[in-house]
């Protein structure tokens, strides 16, 4: 269709007045004429016989100026005007520089890894390389950038929500395996901050790829009302495998230690994106004090229960998933106390279960409805309790039992990162959109 | 002079289809109001149905909630509307 006929409501009033039918009445009244017109106004020529449009993209753009410096300025202004930039200065993606970037992978430049929402632009290795050049990345970073984008394009990752929601969601991009050290990624003090070319330009290349491959732009289809934190480089860091007492995160998922992998995960939304749970050089902390804060954070999030209403897309009702980034000192202490990653996940899962008697009638009803809807399958995948976990929730809904607040121990992902001293921090989202991909084509 | 390559992902070709023909009048017709069930859209679509029914008494306005997640199609409902309806108002509220 050439375009939908839309009745536009005044957002300034609609959102505030939609609480009940009496309040919303004047807004509904204001839409009536638009709706009747939409139903009865004769079709225009374009609506009746739409012209097929296909714009062949311009392959190269020539920027002329009196000097290189002026051309560079002109290039940056053109790219931001076209919505092809991020707002930071860019490196011009000349053919020579893109060819240099492509030396970082054995993969064919024409290989398509998928299409990127919201407009489904085609993501080829070459286009990713172009955006990586613009971000200031080095060729050896390219396989990590590609793996991260493959994670975003996985069917289990809801990229549409992360990039277009009115909430301030953003990705965490966490690198494991030998490549992190080879390309000098920071996993220690300042791990989500500035000053590390690999961390920062990998994140920036991904930001630019999302803009340019998805045709994404703030206020047009990226509707984050206050923007997204760390919007230019995201939270991009490596696990501190050297100072972790445990096997690397990707090895716990079945990858080999000599392989490298990238985990991409949506975080944030209506919070700052992360919560500090303890550690550091100021306050006194202990392993137990941080474990207590972890359990408090998880068990305090009871959205799995009462907020669920069958068929309604309420983001506040989606079950949660947590990422804890544990600073090495704490990981070493937990290891001394006998915890490994798996037993710590189990501890946190079990410790945060709620006694059935402590649930309100509304929470019991919400969980019962979620179980029924999960069985029927007519439910958003964010809200689903997978079939292998359903018996656990069904059996827990009775006197004397405890009800989990996360679907599975695996919804508590544990990484070790940071320096000495360091902070342990938490990041959370819905239980979907957490994908790990092997780094290929190095 | 600098010559740079285009960073944009090529959009796949799309076939534009003609829009459904419009009604001369809604008099005597059945119009579906479809609520996709975003939070608080129920109040709006209910009020819409009430006002439209009062203002156009010779038209039948049927309010229906779309099954399944808000972003996905409801083929059964679409078939019902094609069979029994003459027009549709789809409310996204988002």
- Three-state SS string over chain A comes to CCCCCCCCCCHHHHHHHCCCHHHHHHHHHHHHHHHHHHHHCCCCHHHHCCCCCCCCCCCEEEECCCCHHHHHHHHHHHHHHCCCCCCCCCCCCCHHHHHHHHCCCCCCCCCEEEEECCCCEEEEHHHHHHHHHHHCCCHHHHHHHHHHHHHHCCCCCCHHHHHHCCCEEEEEEEEECHHHHHCCCCCCCCCCCCCCHHHHHHHHHHHHHHHHHHCCCECCCECCCCCCCCCCCCEEEECCCCCCCCCCHHHHCCCCCCCCEEEEEEEEECCCCCEEEEECCCCCCCHHHHHHHHHHHHHCCCCCCCCCCCCCCCHHHCCEEEEEEECHHHHHHHHHCCCCHHHHHHHHHHHCCEEHHHCCHHHHHHHHHHHHHHHHCCCCCCCCCCCCCHHHHHHHCCCCCEECCCCCHHHEEEEECCCCCCEEEEEEEECCCEEEEECCCC
Interface residue B64 vs chain A (CB under 8 A) = no
Separation in Å, CA of A232 to nearest CA in chain B? 17
Query: What's the mean per-residue pLDDT of chain A?
Result: 94
Q: Give the pLDDT confidence score for residue A1 in this predicted structure.
A: 52
CA distance A212 to B10: 9
Residue whose C-alpha is closest to residue A323's, from A218, A174, A113: A174
Interface residue B28 vs chain A (CB under 8 A) = no
Separation in Å, CA of B8 to nearest CA in chain A? 5
Q: Give the pLDDT confidence score for residue B27 in this predicted structure.
A: 97
Query: Which residue in B has a C-alpha nearest to residue A74's C-alpha?
Result: B2
Query: Which residue in A has a C-alpha nearest to residue B1's C-alpha?
Result: A64
CA distance A372 to A348: 27
The minimal CB distance from A378 to the residues B13, B22, B67 is found for: B67
Query: What's the mean per-residue pLDDT of chain B?
Result: 91
| % of chain A surpassing 90 pLDDT | 81
Question: Which of A15-24, A211-220, A380-389, B60-69 has the highest average model confidence (pLDDT)?
Answer: A211-220
Separation in Å, CA of A344 to nearest CA in chain B? 34
Higher-confidence residue of A24 and B14: namely A24
Query: Which residue in B has a C-alpha nearest to residue A62's C-alpha?
Result: B3
Ramachandran assignment for A164, one of left (phi > 0), alpha (psi -120 to 50 degrees), beta (any other): alpha
Instruction: Enter the pTM of the model.
Output: 0.92
> How many CB pairs below 8 Å do chains A and B form together?
175
Res. A430 pLDDT band, cuts 50 70 90 = confident
What H or E segment, with its residue span, contains residue B55? helix B41-55
Separation in Å, CA of A271 to nearest CA in chain B? 20
CA distance A7 to B4: 42
Residue of A2, A11, A23, A24 to mutate for B, most B C-beta atoms under 10 A = A24
Res. A313 pLDDT band, cuts 50 70 90 = low
| % of chain A surpassing 70 pLDDT | 99
The minimal CB distance from B9 to the residues A40, A68, A116 is found for: A116
Please judge whether B19 and A98 are an interchain contact, meaning their C-beta atoms are less than 8 angstroms apart.
Answer: no
The pLDDT tens digits of the residues spanning A337-347 come to 999 999 999 99
């Amino acid at each position: 269709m050439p375009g939908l006929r839309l009745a536009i409501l005044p957002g300034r009033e609609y959102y505030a007045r939609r609480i009940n039918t009496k309040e919303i009445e004047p807004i509904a009244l204001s839409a009536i004429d638009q709706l009747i017109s939409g139903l009865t106004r004769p079709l225009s020529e374009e609506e009746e016989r739409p012209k097929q449009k296909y714009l062949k993209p311009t392959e190269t753009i020539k920027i002329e100026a009196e000097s290189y410096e002026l051309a560079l300025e002109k290039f940056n202004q053109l790219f931001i005007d076209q919505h092809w930039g991020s707002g930071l200065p860019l490196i011009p993606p000349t053919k020579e520089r893109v060819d240099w970037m492509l030396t970082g992978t054995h993969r064919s430049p024409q290989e398509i890894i998928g299409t990127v929402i919201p407009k489904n632009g085609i993501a080829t290795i070459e286009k990713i390389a172009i955006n990586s050049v613009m971000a200031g990345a080095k060729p050896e970073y390219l396989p990590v950038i590609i793996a991260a984008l493959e994670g975003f394009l996985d069917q289990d990752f809801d990229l549409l929500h992360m990039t277009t929601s009115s909430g301030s969601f953003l990705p965490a991009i966490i690198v494991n395996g030998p490549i992190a050290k080879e390309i000098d990624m920071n996993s220690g003090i300042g791990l989500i901050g500035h000053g590390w070319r690999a961390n920062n330009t990998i994140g920036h290349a991904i930001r630019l790829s999302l803009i340019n491959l998805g045709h994404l732009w703030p206020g047009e289809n990226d509707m984050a009302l206050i923007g997204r934190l760390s919007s230019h480089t995201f939270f991009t860091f490596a696990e501190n495998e050297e100072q972790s007492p445990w096997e690397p995160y990707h090895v716990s998922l079945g990858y080999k230690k000599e392989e490298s992998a990238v985990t991409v995960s949506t975080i944030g939304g209506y919070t700052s994106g992360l919560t500090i749970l303890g550690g550091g050089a100021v306050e006194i902390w202990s392993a137990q004090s941080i474990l207590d804060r972890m359990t408090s954070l998880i068990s305090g999030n009871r959205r799995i229960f009462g907020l669920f209403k069958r068929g309604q897309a309420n983001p506040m009702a989606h079950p949660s998933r947590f990422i804890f980034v544990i600073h090495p000192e704490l990981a070493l202490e937990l290891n001394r106390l006998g915890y490994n990653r798996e037993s710590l996940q189990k501890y946190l899962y079990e410790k945060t279960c709620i006694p059935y008697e402590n649930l309100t009638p509304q929470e019991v009803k919400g969980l019962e409805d979620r179980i029924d809807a999960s069985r029927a399958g007519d439910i958003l995948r964010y809200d689903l309790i997978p079939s292998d976990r359903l018996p656990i929730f069904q059996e827990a809904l009775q006197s004397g039992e405890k009800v989990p607040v996360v679907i599975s121990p695996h919804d508590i992902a544990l990484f070790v990162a940071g320096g000495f001293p360091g902070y342990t921090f938490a990041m959370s989202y819905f239980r979907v959109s957490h994908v790990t991909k092997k780094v290929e084509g190095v | 002079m600098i010559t740079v390559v285009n960073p944009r992902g090529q959009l796949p070709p799309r076939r534009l289809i003609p829009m459904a023909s419009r009604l001369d009048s809604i008099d005597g017709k059945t119009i579906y109001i479809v609520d996709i069930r975003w939070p608080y859209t129920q109040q709006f679509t209910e009020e819409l149905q009430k006002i439209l029914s009062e203002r156009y008494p010779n038209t039948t306005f049927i309010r229906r909630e779309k099954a399944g997640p808000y972003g996905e199609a409801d083929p059964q409902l679409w078939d019902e509307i094609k069979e029994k309806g003459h027009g549709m108002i789809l409310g996204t509220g988002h």
